Amino acid sequence: MTNMIDEIKDQIIEYLPEKVKLAKVEFEGPEIVIYTKNPEINKDHGDIIRALAKKIRKRIIIRSDKSVLSPPPETIDKVEEIVPTDADITDISFDDVTHEVIIESRKPGLVIGKYGTTSREILKQTGWTPKILRTPPINSETIQRIRLSLKRNSKERKEFLQKLGKRIRREPMFDNDWVRLTSLGGFREVGRSCLFLQTPNSKVILDCGVNVAGIDEKTAYPFLNVPEFNLQDLDAVIITHAHLDHTGFVPYLYHYGYDGPTYCTTPTRDMMTLLQQDHLDISHREDKPLPFNIKDVKETINKTITLDYGQVTDISPDIRLTLHDAGHIVGSAMAHLNIGDGKHNFLYTGDFKNEQSRLLGTPKQHFARIESMVMESTYGGREDNTPTRNTAEKELVKAIYDTIQKGGKILIPVFAVGRAQEIMIVLEEFINRGILGKVPVYLDGMIWEATAIHTAHPEFLSNELQKQIFHAGENPFTSDVFNKVTNNEQRRKLLESNEPCVILSTSGMLTGGNSVEYFKELCEDEKNRIIFVGYQSEGSLGRRIQKGFDEVPLEKDGVTQLFHINIEVTTIDGFSGHSDRKQLMEYVRKLSPKPDKILVCHGDAYKALDLASSIYRTYKIETKTPLNLETTRLQ
Amino acid sequence: MTNMIDEIKDQIIEYLPEKVKLAKVEFEGPEIVIYTKNPEINKDHGDIIRALAKKIRKRIIIRSDKSVLSPPPETIDKVEEIVPTDADITDISFDDVTHEVIIESRKPGLVIGKYGTTSREILKQTGWTPKILRTPPINSETIQRIRLSLKRNSKERKEFLQKLGKRIRREPMFDNDWVRLTSLGGFREVGRSCLFLQTPNSKVILDCGVNVAGIDEKTAYPFLNVPEFNLQDLDAVIITHAHLDHTGFVPYLYHYGYDGPTYCTTPTRDMMTLLQQDHLDISHREDKPLPFNIKDVKETINKTITLDYGQVTDISPDIRLTLHDAGHIVGSAMAHLNIGDGKHNFLYTGDFKNEQSRLLGTPKQHFARIESMVMESTYGGREDNTPTRNTAEKELVKAIYDTIQKGGKILIPVFAVGRAQEIMIVLEEFINRGILGKVPVYLDGMIWEATAIHTAHPEFLSNELQKQIFHAGENPFTSDVFNKVTNNEQRRKLLESNEPCVILSTSGMLTGGNSVEYFKELCEDEKNRIIFVGYQSEGSLGRRIQKGFDEVPLEKDGVTQLFHINIEVTTIDGFSGHSDRKQLMEYVRKLSPKPDKILVCHGDAYKALDLASSIYRTYKIETKTPLNLETTRLQ
């Protein structure tokens, strides 16, 4: 067996100009890291390095040998000299392990420079490789903690990446005769999404969620106890987006000994950390302990490798992963797996929204190849057609306007991630255009933190929004129409005021959280309005209100009281992050090339079957709706 | 955890009369063995013991404590005194480990006696438990070797059975929430049948065959290298019938460390041993070594537990197995699995013939419960309808008669097991009825030995045949119309003779063996006839002859020569051991109760799909045609 590192090192030496002194070539996870005593090569021979990377189909990172690193104080001076003041650097720190200078800036684009020139100049002059991070315009504790954790674990992480680099490049032992997919959760149901993909050489998990509505471990968690699944042999975990039904069980894998990577986008990593921590908090409060703890959430952070959309990455000897925009929530992705050097190509859509929204981009529809696909069917039933985004927005604005006119308050219960930000952008625009007056918008609960994470990743938002933020310098999220509510004093004050206002609060279905508290205060006054913009599940308080109950018993001050519902109740469909039936069918219609086989998941049995049968009848593509625990041959 | 042995011992003590002295109660595999110092209880309290067995739903065997065994010479005298001379005892031997006296007899029924009285009298008077075996009217080397091997391994076998007894009765660790079936071979194809059934508590293999037409290990052997399959966790191997496409890979399991049981009927054990040995011989001759050797075939014998049709047997903490007649070849069975105390009932048909034949019984069609079923589809295509057995027989006799009249010889190439014996019975009857004169029938190759094995197991033959053998004392297989051919001298003689004759010889498709040698000698004379009674696969010499080739190149005396085909060529359908399309559909129609789900296997992709779709359309039962390596949820 040839040593792949040596082989690649030989290729690099052959390729680079003679005077370049290579100190070391290493694999760090999927990337190749070149340590050199001439860090200027990156600047002076950038084209050669890019051409080399393309030739060997690997990402190449240039770092300096220890001997050529400038002392940190001198480096700080150099960085401040090279980078324009407008970049608004907030922090500079050093990583001794990776020889990186970590520069946090409010305008990271200016630290990178056009085509990366500024960044390469820093490397050339100081020896330190710049790692450039955005300082979010709204401070996010989650992101701070994540960045700190990664900084502290730099040494362990490097060892992990080096080990992983070798593992990914181990010699394949078998021919790629087949690809199988086992449904471990989220098939003919919504919740605990988990796909287990095997080839003769690799084993990969796609999503690993929990069903928060599950009543016991058999209904809440994926079926990880099947004999073919075994943590030691797992090559990779791939996460399509941050919601708990796709990420809630990832820490469990680490708790029970998984020590491999989790691949996802940076916003997904940040957002899933927030949601996993919150899940642990709630479970703790409700005295329903989860089978893992906060250490495992941290371990997940330390073992996560973030990928950009479109970045092709080797994750095992025979699988290359590429994430593509899915338009569901910030950082949400479709996962494309190129297996056995293109022998089979598999697409897992994850949750996706096949419609332009204000917040996000649209899902990718054109691929080089797809032979098989797994797609969601949350709204896959023939009756699941919702109004367009445009109609929904108009209804929303009209409802809010009417209530403001009456001097009432508007409560919008929302999920913290996705829906809340979508509504915020609509509100900000209509307030700015003077249509809703200067009505204040209050954000309560986790919404603020989730919004902060959005502001750290503008590259993952819609083009329109990026234009607004980068070019016009107008970030709707930092608008002063939004007010953060963090304590009861603030809550009391806003409720006591006679001014109309809009309150966005979690939970989205009034199953707990501050939205219920607001409801109690607002529900008996007919001037007020509650607006539902998301799905209300059967049995939830939200559902009962939607149905038109006259009164509901709720606890207040430790006593159960009857609350009369005089508040105006409005439901607006069309803000969902999921494609409706038309959009699902339309996605398959426009998808190119068409897969040979489509498996339908993430939907109630009836909806999954209905969508599968419609796709088969309309497009003559073989469809399947596996049960959990079934294994389907993809190739 | 309660000790099940103790629990059952308590039940037995409570149940039996006070004076009975229990020395020991042990599990030997699925059976309970009671060692007692009063062996007479079996005779005097037979009803109580049968009632007890029924109550605890286990088979009970009574054996004596060592202290009360008579000395062997005395025992032989006693046996000869008790058993009537007509029983024709051929051998008496002793097993010190099991305290059994092994009595081989030409008429074992007379050793057993009416309702077992004679046998129980032997136990009462000598202390030894009689194990009564039939001395086959045609001597079988295979059976001799198997019986000898079991005798020699008695001690190891007892230890194996005791260990197994405990394993079967281990406490179930999980709830029986699901049953899954993975297709490891023989799906959408014929050959290498292998089903892997898992519950949360057990793992079972049903059939483990090879595809003798496979070109390499990927096409010839089942997919045992899937991660969910692991020899250490395997509870049981169940074999439905002896053909190599269902049994050829069983020795491999033992070679790689399986040390659990194989369950099948006695004829299946004997016949599969013959076929496995032959497979090794041929592979050796052709220098294509198999991944196991003769030791593993012996190990298979020693680990096999034989079951009668209808005998309910615990094979794991949550699975009870019952074999039922399948009518395919002698000893062939359908396997019924009662899972989780009746929570789910699964039927695997194996290969089956849904038509009364002369040789065998018909498949069972009424069950207490079936929720899911796997059925074969060898002739499942809509065009796969064959003449009735009756029509086929008439055609056969007519063809033979015509050739005899012309003074020619008739060559019938046949598979050694099943088809050969079916044809023998037809010939014997028509010769005896004077329709075909006194034409001699020559049996060449493995046919004789396979026939000998049939004669050892008349209980597994058709009722008609049993009547003929037991009551009329006329065993068609021992008729003097049949002549055994074992050497070239005999072959030369029968070919040189001017007398007409019928020659049955293997292989059935003229792909090797003596049938080809006979063909070379007979094919150029138009007086002779070759009759095909079985399937000729594409590319075989048989197929080319069937198609009407004028000449074929064949090797003779080390040189390839052209042979002109003047021999009359006749093909007679209708002798197949497989159900044709009508019979398959008819089986489902009559089956009661109807399963909720039917999986179709053991047929070319087109035939499997066609049968599945017809069953769905006709009976509205959900059908599936999984690919190899797929896993289907049964419950």
Distance CA A335, CA A350 (A): 8
pLDDT over 50 at A1, yes or no: no
Residue in chain B nearest A225 by alpha carbon? B200
Task: Give, as one character, the DSSP assignment of residue B470.
Answer: I
- Domains for chain B: give ranges and CATH numbers: 1-66 (3.30.300.230), 69-135 (3.30.300.20), 159-383+577-633 (3.60.15.10), 389-571 (3.40.50.10890)
Mean pLDDT, all residues of chain B: 93
Disruptive mutation site among B175, B187, B188, B228 for chain A (greatest number of A CBs within 10 Å): B228
pLDDT score, position B39 = 82
* Residue positions forming the annotated binding site of B for Zn(2+): 241, 243, 245-246, 328, 351, 602
* Residue positions forming the annotated binding site of B: 241, 243, 245-246, 328, 351, 602
Q: Percent of chain B having pLDDT more than 90?
A: 83
pLDDT score, position B17 = 78
Could you tell me where the DSSP H helices lie in A17-172? 41-44, 46-56, 72-82, 108-112, 117-126, 141-152, 154-168
CB within 8 Å: B228 and A230: no
- Residues of A within 8 A of B225 (CB-CB) are 200
Bridge partners (DSSP) listed for residue A101: A94, A130
Among A70-84, A435-449, B27-41, B481-495, the range scoring the smallest mean pLDDT is B27-41
Q: What is the pLDDT of residues A315-371, one digit of tens each?
A: 999 999 999 999 999 999 999 999 999 999 999 999 999 999 999 999 999 999 999
Q: Percent of chain A having pLDDT more than 70?
A: 100
- Residues of B within 8 A of A228 (CB-CB) are 226-228
CB within 8 Å: B178 and A203: no
The amino acid occupying position A143 is: I
- Sequence-separated (6 or more) residues with CB below 8 Å from residue B276: B244, B247, B248, B250, B251, B297, B300
CB B326 within 8 A of CB B290: no
Mean pLDDT of B435-441: 93
Mean pLDDT, all residues of chain A: 93
CA distance readout (Å), A509 to A209, A285, A412, A517, B367: 20, 19, 10, 13, 50
Spatial strand order in the sheet of B529-532: B482-485, B441-444, B502-505, B410-413, B529-532, B568-571
Among A168-182, A220-234, B35-49, B566-580, the range scoring the smallest mean pLDDT is B35-49
* Buried-state track B516-542, b at ≥16 Cβ within 10 A, e below 16: bbbbebbbeeeebbbbbbbbbeeebbb
- The torsion defined by the Cα of B459, B464, B469 and B473, in degrees rounded to 10, comes to 150
pLDDT score, position A511 = 85
- Residues of A within 8 A of B177 (CB-CB) are 218
- Sequence-separated (6 or more) residues with CB below 8 Å from residue A515: A411, A413, A444, A445, A505, A506, A507, A508
Q: Which of residues 152-191 of B touch A (CB under 8 A)?
A: 177-178, 180, 182
| Facing residue for A182 by CB, picked from B177, B628, B631 | B631
Q: How confident is the model at residue A16 (pLDDT cuts 50, 70, 90)?
A: confident
Disruptive mutation site among A217, A221, A228, A628 for chain B (greatest number of B CBs within 10 Å): A228
- Residues of A within 8 A of B613 (CB-CB) are none
Distance CA B526, CA B171 (A): 70
pLDDT score, position B40 = 80
The complex's ipTM works out to 0.84
CB burial of residue A194 (10 Å; 0-12, 13-18, 19+) = buried
Residue in chain B nearest A624 by alpha carbon? B624
**Residues A378, A380, A384, A387, CA torsion sign:** positive
CB within 8 Å: A230 and B233: no
Chain A touched by B227 (CB under 8 Å): yes
pLDDT score, position B132 = 96
pLDDT over 60 at A257, yes or no: yes
- Count of positions (residues) in chain A: 635
pLDDT over 60 at A2, yes or no: no
Cβ of A287: how many Cβ atoms within 10 Å? 6
Chain B touched by A622 (CB under 8 Å): no
Task: Give, as one character, the DSSP assignment of residue A63.
Answer: E
| Facing residue for A627 by CB, picked from B218, B227, B633 | B633
Q: What is the pLDDT of residues B594-616, one digit of tens each?
A: 999 999 999 999 999 999 999 99
Chain B touched by A628 (CB under 8 Å): yes
CB within 8 Å: B629 and A633: yes
Quote the pTM value: 0.90
- What secondary structure does DSSP assign to B20-89, as a single string? --EEEEEEETTEEEEEES-TTHHHHTHHHHHHHHHHHTS-EEEEE-GGGPPPHHHHHHHHHHHS-GGG-E
Mean pLDDT of A291-316: 97
Min Cα separation B163/chain A (Å): 24
| Facing residue for B633 by CB, picked from A177, A200, A630 | A630
Q: How confident is the model at residue B206 (pLDDT cuts 50, 70, 90)?
A: very high
pLDDT score, position B281 = 93
Mean pLDDT of B83-87: 95
Q: What is the pLDDT of residues A540-569, one digit of tens each?
A: 899 999 999 999 999 988 899 999 999 999
CB within 8 Å: B631 and A628: no
Q: Which of residues 195-224 of B touch A (CB under 8 A)?
A: 198, 200, 203, 218
**Residues A309, A312, A315, A320, CA torsion sign:** positive
Phi/psi at B367 (nearest 5 deg)? -130, 160
Residue B425's Cβ-side half-sphere holds a number of Cα atoms within 13 Å equal to 22
End-to-end CA distance of chain A: 28
Min Cα separation B64/chain A (Å): 44
